[in-house]
């Protein structure tokens, strides 16, 4: 029996491999099951490059029915085995792996003859395996587009909807999961169910943000809006975090004037990174970086803050975009003169991280470990977090990567869905994403140590943070994550995946192997 080796921060752990029942190859879809090393190796790791675990096999489904037949087989076998859908494998902690089981290679679903992206007037029906960039291209042909985007578009619909799907438009429209009208889901018993807010709603709400625990999303109906043609893309520098957060909150609040931005995010730039990091970026020229480094060197703190905002426009509104922008900028308190503006096509704006990916790839800095930590922090504690973490704990190394910090409106999150927002009863919360890469083994150790220290800091200071794209090592961690909703989550798991077959890489429920 093959053994599976998991590599977590340099420590080797051996997990028993279960082996699959022999009669699996008598299934009608046997020709779509691969057990060769090339296939299993491809499904053994993820973007994080921290955890490795080989599956016994990989299923390449041609249709959702193939997935259903396969899951039914596992669920009815005397020894059910784990099954994990894998989109692009862009998780960072092995969430799409299936140690001792079978990975379902979702992208194969989209390689058939029929298009699995169908655009209507108000919505697009998309296969769960489709990439957001392909949805963008298809919808733009009709002058339409989804309303909320993740920063990176080369990830799948099923992968982001299993988490939440957040970005700079979420303050207005909620996360991507709040913009879905209907799903097709294959449950952990192999049933194919169409669900919505009205029909089989418990499965609909469970699957959205459901970390792959309740079923495989094979189709999502996603709301659309008229697409703009162009984007005025602006970055504003702040040396004072209180001004930075005050302005961000103003821009996402109902108090903001009619002339609002369509996208609001923000980044923290550690002074050290500005001084010693890249000389230019796809957005900032060398001269811009020098100015920002100068600003940072005058500031007494360890960081400066860059608000990133965008205003959409098209042919009819082009004449007033400058006026509108001017009017909003007058209300804000960035450092005078530190306004950086670009004017780009809508696609170029949405697909901006691809350009950064190319830069990192060519520098050999893309395929490296990514010990990312994403947190949701209650609004009332963001300045404490900034003092203790950004200005306090970080800075043991000078890593490649970014730190995002931006607020969202709590009311846009539907707490019937599985995704967790902070429950502190506040109208806004922040996402703080420590998206740092480890260039060598010592970096990884330092960054992992800093991540642990950040979580302990929040715990000690009573900051009720929630992990986004969560990773918990124990059932207690998950119970704490879901809080009072834990028993409901366990109930839904027992209903839709009674053998705990699905997405074992999340390590929420004990898997059959």
Q: Which CB, 271 or 503, lies closer to ligand FAD?
A: 503
Residue 273: CB minimum distance to ligand FAD, A: 18
Q: Which CB, 89 or 371, lies closer to ligand FAD?
A: 89
Closest CA to 24 of 85, 70, 78: 70
Within 10 angstroms of residue 501's Cβ, the number of other Cβ atoms is 26
Residue 447: CB minimum distance to ligand FAD, A: 16
Separation between Cα atoms, residue 149 and residue 499, nearest integer Å: 34
Residue 461: CB minimum distance to ligand FAD, A: 26
Residues 337-376 that bind ligand FAD (CB under 6 A): 353
Query: How far from the centroid of its chain's Cα atoms is residue 311's Cα?
Result: 23
Q: Which CB, 225 or 356, lies closer to ligand FAD?
A: 356
Query: Which span sits near ligand FAD by CB under 6 A: 91-99, 230-238, 422-430, 481-489?
Result: 91-99
Instruction: Give catalytic status of residue 370 as yes or no.
Output: no
Annotated catalytic residue within 60, 90, 471, 499: 90
How buried is 432 (Cβ within 10 angstroms: 0-12 exposed, 13-18 middle, 19+ buried)? buried
Residue 510: CB minimum distance to ligand FAD, A: 16
Which residue in the set 39, 44, 45, 95 belongs to the binding site for ligand FAD (CB under 6 A)? 95
Query: Which span sits near ligand FAD by CB under 6 A: 10-18, 49-57, 86-94, 450-458?
Result: 86-94
266 binds ligand FAD (CB under 6 A): no
Annotated catalytic residue within 265, 443, 464, 497: 265
Distances (CA, A) of 465 to 304, 305, 354, 376: 23, 21, 30, 5
Residue 236: CB minimum distance to ligand FAD, A: 20
Query: Which span sits near ligand FAD by CB under 6 A: 277-285, 378-386, 456-464, 501-509?
Result: 501-509
Separation between Cα atoms, residue 362 and residue 210, nearest integer Å: 35
Beta strands 303-313 and 263-270: pairing type?
Answer: antiparallel
Beta strands 123-127 and 57-59: pairing type?
Answer: unpaired
Distances (CA, A) of 321 to 173, 233, 314: 22, 11, 9
Size of residue set near ligand FAD by CB under 6 A: 37
Separation between Cα atoms, residue 261 and residue 332, nearest integer Å: 13
Cβ within 8 Å of residue 354, ≥6 positions away = 133, 152, 153, 154
Sign of CA dihedral 456, 458, 462, 465: negative
Annotated catalytic residue within 56, 151, 351, 450: 151
Q: What is the number of the residue whose Cβ is closest to ligand FAD?
A: 158
Residues 143-182 that bind ligand FAD (CB under 6 A): 150-152, 155-156, 158-160, 162-167
First-residue to last-residue Cα distance in the chain:
13
Distances (CA, A) of 36 to 39, 42, 297: 6, 10, 55
Which residue in the set 44, 96, 130, 418 belongs to the binding site for ligand FAD (CB under 6 A)? 96
Separation between Cα atoms, residue 481 and residue 344, nearest integer Å: 40
Instruction: Give catalytic status of residue 151 as yes or no.
Output: yes
Separation between Cα atoms, residue 411 and residue 427, nearest integer Å: 7
Residues 197-236 that bind ligand FAD (CB under 6 A): 211-212, 216-217
Closest CA to 502 of 222, 181, 188, 42: 188
Which residue in the set 6, 39, 74, 84 belongs to the binding site for ligand FAD (CB under 6 A)? 84
Q: Which CB, 161 or 251, lies closer to ligand FAD?
A: 161
Taking CB under 6 A as the rule, which mask of x and - marks residues 110-139 in contact with ligand FAD? ------------------x-----------
Coil/strand/helix, residue 381: helix
Q: Which CB, 284 or 468, lies closer to ligand FAD?
A: 468
Cβ within 8 Å of residue 484, ≥6 positions away = none
Q: Which CB, 353 or 359, lies closer to ligand FAD?
A: 353
Neighbouring-strand partners of residue 119: 124
Decide: 378 and 424 in contact? Cβ < 8 Å: yes
Which residue in the set 69, 106, 306, 382 belongs to the binding site for ligand FAD (CB under 6 A)? 106
Which residue in the set 245, 271, 503, 511 belongs to the binding site for ligand FAD (CB under 6 A)? 503
Q: Which spans in 368-421 are helix H?
A: 382-385
Q: Which CB, 295 or 465, lies closer to ligand FAD?
A: 465
Which residue in the set 18, 55, 85, 174 belongs to the binding site for ligand FAD (CB under 6 A)? 85
Chain length of the chain: 513
Q: Which CB, 286 or 367, lies closer to ligand FAD?
A: 367
The single-letter DSSP state of residue 510 is -
Beta strands 102-105 and 57-59: pairing type?
Answer: parallel
Residue 186: CB minimum distance to ligand FAD, A: 8
Residue 287: CB minimum distance to ligand FAD, A: 27
φ, ψ of residue 423 in degrees (nearest 5)? -105, 35
Residues 30-69 that bind ligand FAD (CB under 6 A): 46-47
Residue 329: CB minimum distance to ligand FAD, A: 25
Decide: 279 and 289 in contact? Cβ < 8 Å: yes
How buried is 418 (Cβ within 10 angstroms: 0-12 exposed, 13-18 middle, 19+ buried)? buried
Q: Which CB, 356 or 384, lies closer to ligand FAD?
A: 356
- Note the residues at the interface with ligand FAD (CB under 6 A): 46-47, 84-91, 95-96, 106, 128, 150-152, 155-156, 158-160, 162-167, 211-212, 216-217, 353, 469, 503, 505-506
Catalytic residue set: 90, 151, 265
């Amino acid at each position: 029996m093959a053994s599976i080796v998991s590599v977590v921060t340099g420590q080797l752990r051996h997990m028993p491999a279960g082996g699959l029942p022999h009669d699996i190859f008598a299934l009608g879809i046997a020709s779509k099951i691969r057990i060769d090393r090339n296939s299993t190796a491809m499904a053994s790791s993820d973007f994080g490059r921290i955890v490795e675990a080989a599956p016994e096999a990989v299923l390449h489904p041609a249709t959702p029915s193939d997935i259903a037949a396969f899951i039914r087989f596992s669920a009815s076998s005397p020894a059910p085995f784990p099954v994990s859908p894998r989109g692009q494998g862009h998780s960072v902690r092995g969430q799409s792996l299936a140690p001792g089981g079978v990975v379902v290679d979702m992208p194969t679903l989209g390689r058939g003859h029929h298009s699995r992206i169908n655009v209507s007037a108000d919505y697009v029906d998309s296969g769960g395996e489709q990439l957001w960039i392909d949805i963008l291209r298809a919808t733009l042909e009709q002058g339409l587009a989804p309303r909320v985007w993740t920063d990176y578009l080369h990830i799948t619909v099923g992968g982001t909807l299993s988490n939440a799907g957040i970005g700079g438009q979420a303050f207005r429209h909620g996360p991507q999961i709040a913009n879905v009208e209907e799903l097709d889901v294959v449950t952990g018993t192999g049933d194919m169910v169409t669900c919505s807010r009205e029909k089989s709603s418990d499965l609909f709400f469970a699957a959205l943000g459901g970390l792959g625990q309740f079923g495989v999303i094979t189709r999502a109906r996603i709301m659309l809006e008229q697409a703009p043609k162009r984007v005025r893309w602006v970055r504003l520098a702040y040396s004072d975090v209180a001004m930075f957060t005050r302005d961000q909150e103003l821009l996402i609040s109902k108090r903001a004037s009619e002339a609002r931005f369509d996208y609001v995010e923000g980044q923290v730039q550690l002074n050290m990174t500005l001084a010693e990091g890249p000389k230019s970026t796809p957005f900032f020229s060398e001269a811009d970086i020098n100015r920002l480094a100068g600003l940072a060197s005058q500031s007494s703190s360890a960081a400066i803050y860059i608000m990133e905002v965008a205003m959409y426009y098209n042919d009819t509104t082009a004449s007033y975009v400058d006026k509108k922008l001017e009017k909003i900028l007058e209300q804000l308190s960035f450092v005078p003169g530190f306004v950086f503006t670009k004017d780009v096509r809508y696609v170029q704006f949405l697909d901006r991280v691809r350009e950064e990916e190319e830069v990192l790839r060519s520098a050999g800095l893309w395929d490296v470990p990514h010990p990312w930590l994403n947190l949701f922090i209650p609004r009332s504690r963001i300045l404490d977090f900034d003092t203790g973490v950004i200005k306090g704990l970080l800075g043991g190394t000078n890593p490649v990567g970014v730190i995002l910090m931006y607020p969202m409106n709590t009311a846009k999150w539907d707490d019937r869905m599985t995704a967790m927002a902070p429950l502190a009863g506040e109208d806004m919360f922040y996402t703080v994403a420590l998206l740092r890469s480890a260039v060598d083994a010592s970096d990884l150790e330092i960054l992992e140590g800093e991540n642990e220290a950040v979580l302990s800091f929040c715990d000690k200071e009573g900051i009720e943070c929630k992990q986004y794209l969560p990773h918990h090592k124990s059932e207690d961690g998950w119970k704490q994550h879901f809080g009072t909703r834990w028993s409901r989550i366990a109930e839904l798991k027992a209903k839709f995946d009674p053998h705990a077959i699905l997405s074992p890489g999340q390590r929420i429920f004990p898997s059959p192997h």
